[in-house]
Amino acid sequence: MRQIFLLLTICILLSSCTNTATPTTPPNTTVPTAPPATIAPTNTPQPTETAIPTPTPLPTNTATALPTATPVPTNTPVPTNTPLPTPTADPNAAVIDVTDEIVLRDVKRLGLNIGQYNINAAGFLMTNVIPNPGFESAEFHLIFIADDNATTERAPARADFWNTDWNNLEFHIGHHEGFWNGAEYEVLTGAAAGQRGTVSDFTHENNRLVWYLDGDNNFVGGAAIMVRQVLPGFISDRFPTVIGEPNDTRPNSPGTQSARLTPRDDDLSSYTRFLDQFAATENPEAGKLLQMDGEWNYSVWAKSDGGTTLRIRVAREDGATFLEETVPVGAEWTLIELSFTGEDPQIAGVPGRLRIDLWPNEGMVLVDDHTLKRAEYDSPTRFSDRVVETVQAYNPGIVRFWASNLSHSLDNALSAEFAHKPTGFSPQRTVGLFFTYSLHEFLMLAELVGAEPWYVIPPTFTEQEAQNLIAYLAAPADAHPYAALRAEMGQTAPWTEVFPLIHLEWGNEIWGGANGADPFLGATLGGGQRAGEYANRRMAAMRAVEWFQPDDFNLIIGGQYRAPDRQAEIENNSNNHDTIAIAPYYGVLEQYATDEERYLPLYAHANEAGTGLLSQSVARLSAETEIAIYETNLHMVENDIPNDIRNDVLSSQGAGISLPLTMLHYMRDLGIRNQAVWELVEFSTRTFRGEGWARLFGVMRDLEATYRPRPTYIAMQMANDVIGGDMLAVNVQVDSYTVPAINRVIRPISVPYVEAFAFQNGDQTGIILFNTDIVNARQAVINLPTTGAATGWLLAAENINDDNEDALQVARQPLQFAEFGIESRLTLPPHSMIVLTVDP
């Protein structure tokens, strides 16, 4: 967005007030006349269904440089502005009457998935940027579906689960024979559900994975079976000179092992941890996503078997070295603490990987519990200051914890930083690839930002762990060992006294196919029947805990958006859930020659909420079951289209406003209160065809390099400034246009040029306005039940494709009015969003 365009097109003032503060503009500046709309407005509710024509380009405006803007600005006082002359009233203005009729009580601000902790890309969520800093061994838990011809002791996995021909032990691909020997198992579904025992032998037969189990089992119908174990030692797929040492840890470490380093014959480092390698190894467009600028602190505990030295280096592979020290290491555990000032600017071309290297000079050195942190970070949680600040400014009603946490034990889910283990669940790898924040840390973050927590329970929790989870959340500190653990970690009162509602979802997409096409292979059950049956059993156990109060918890099973009958399968096999949650990602580019084809189907999708796939899922639910949105965002990763076009749309201001517009329709048209966007930060994701990188799914481009919000973030932040209390009915008289059935719009649909949503929160009235006309400014005359002073924000841009990817072009602009509410006239720029709160 360029400043001149904004000042020329905003032209916002009250026709009924002469003492109104308005955005600063030169005296006598007027709104430029926009060209006639090429999608002709209609005066009837159902206009003629016509294809979308190409628009006439907007007139070019003189641009000036944008002032420096804060990516997540706070609500600072609005400066005094020069009033604009009253515009001539537009007889075609939208008339918006906000009534006092309540359409949905007790609404909730739109939520946010905190998302993946990914130190290779933009997901630097924790203050300490080193994952598994305690060098802990991995937990490996897996769910597989037994073939129909399984016997009482022999359980081969289904044929499409994993082919052992693909195993490669050198690169830790696949599970070798004996990998699961001695592991615990439990039958999760079918006639033998609840049967537990030990894996007596794990082998390969006819290119199939086969488990031999003790006990008398019955696997008729393809039972789901869970196996669990802790892998011995510190497993690394690159550095054989790093070995877990379980018999020695630094003093008072919460962990269970350290790492033993020995010199390499080739004089290379014994231990290397790569960070920020996304640009170097995957998407070169990303540049540096963790810049080592400013003050940093590094620490590590070390001891040796005699007297030696340890060389420590933090550097980029393109030549920049930030820290290089050689320190003596004695026979007793000693904490080594080093500081440095980094200079790490963005460079032309692909940056080198960031790496931490450790070299023992000779002999053996044990290392434990190491950290690399920005010196200025002092968040009360282990989440970085940037995470806390950004989530607070977004102001979500819900934060969701889903970060590939599909194979934790409860003890590991609650463990402290240096005791937390990496995890694995896939038959494709023998290395624990996933490391994330703990449940306790997540709940601390939720409390700090004032949001309800939504925790995805690992589907590999045992029944006892599911019950212990409830005790940890709800029991008095002196009533249960896990409640006592909570108190030891600093939370004496039950979490149920902190939050009005705690959302607990059993697994993530546990209906998944449990085959090679399933991204969560090893943690899914192959359909809604098994998913419902299994979740139902675990939820029954949770409800049986004496401290479980139904009003404190929302028990959730995830459904499948594009298969409404999946929800019916789950419902037919479970009666202990409260909610079925689905993920209605939206947006596809099959036709994209014009801006109309690219953007208007996004606005049309929002208007399909009451008649599309989501409504079909609602129709399959019982009256007792709520529906929720566990993830949503733009999508557009399916088709083989020019990547510049794809990313122009995905990162744009025009697409950004479609996200809250869509979620507000879900709220109003389907009564959905609990919704969460995916996700806080991610620079890009690979397209389904693997031929490009889509600028998804983060609403923040990154947190540690540019710290720039995408328009989706800004639009969601603005909506949450207004949402609260009760949602009110709004009558809108406005012309419409027809979007044909393209880009997965189900059928031709009429879309109003101006859309409005309103809320009553105590004495305060809030209103959210969208202009979906991508060519013309639109006037609106607004009538509220009460009048008063109004403050708010505008999100607009000179060009619908403007974004914040390479420079800050899009930012919200403050608005303020001395009196607002009766025949108050606003001019909405093209493809724009305005939010206002009115205090009597």
Is the per-residue pLDDT at 598 higher than 90? yes
Q: Which residue has the tokens 């599970």?
A: 175
State pLDDT tens for residues 542-570.
Answer: 999 999 999 999 999 999 999 999 999 99
pLDDT at 737 over 90: yes
Q: At what angle do helices 711-722 and 658-670 cross, to 10 degrees?
A: 40
Which residue carries 């970690």 as its tokens?
A: 489
Q: How confident is the model at residue 319 (pLDDT cuts 50, 70, 90)?
A: confident
pTM of the model: 0.90
Confidence of residue 265 (pLDDT cuts 50, 70, 90): confident
Share of the chain above pLDDT 90, in %: 78
Token pair listed for 626: 């709520």
Distance in angstroms (rounded) separating the CA atoms of residues 693 and 643: 7
User: What distances in angstroms separate CA 370 from CA 31, 235, 255, one per listed residue?
Assistant: 59, 17, 12
**Residue range 581-597: average pLDDT?**
96
Mean pLDDT of 160-174: 89
Of 87-96, 404-413, 691-700, 748-757, the poorest mean pLDDT is in 87-96
pLDDT at 464 over 80: yes
Mean pLDDT of 468-497: 98
**Mean of the pLDDT values across residues 609-625?**
91
For residue 601, what is the enclosing H or E element?
A: helix 595-607
pLDDT band per the 50, 70, 90 thresholds, residue 612: confident
Mean pLDDT confidence for 748-769: 97
What is the reported pLDDT for 220?
66
Given a cut of 60, whether residue 23 has pLDDT beyond it is no
In this prediction, residue 63 carries a pLDDT of 27
Give the per-residue pLDDT at 433.
84
pLDDT digits (tens, 9 = 90+) for 200-249: 999 999 999 999 999 776 676 689 999 999 987 766 545 556 888 988 99
Residue 42 has pLDDT above 60, yes or no: no
3-state class of 632 per DSSP? coil
pLDDT beyond 50 at 34: no
Q: How confident is the model at residue 46 (pLDDT cuts 50, 70, 90)?
A: very low
pLDDT tier at 171 (50, 70, 90 boundaries)?
confident
DSSP conformation class of 18: S
Overall average pLDDT of the 765-771 stretch: 98
Mean predicted confidence (pLDDT) in 641-663: 97
Q: Any residues with CB less than 8 A from the CB of 11 and at least 6 apart, and which?
A: 30, 31, 84, 87, 777, 827
pLDDT in tens, 186-211: 999 998 899 999 999 999 999 999 99
Q: Which two tokens stand for residue 149?
A: 């011809």
Structure tokens at 736: 């419409």
Are 303 and 259 in contact, with CB atoms under 8 Å apart?
no
**pLDDT band, very low/low/confident/very high, at 90 (cuts 50, 70, 90):** confident
Predicted pLDDT of residue 236: 54
Amino acid at 757: F
DSSP code, position 146:
B
Q: Dihedrals φ, ψ of 360, to 5°?
A: -80, 140
CA distance 368 to 363: 17
Summarised one tens digit per residue, pLDDT across range 111-150 is 999 998 888 888 999 999 999 999 999 999 999 999 988 8
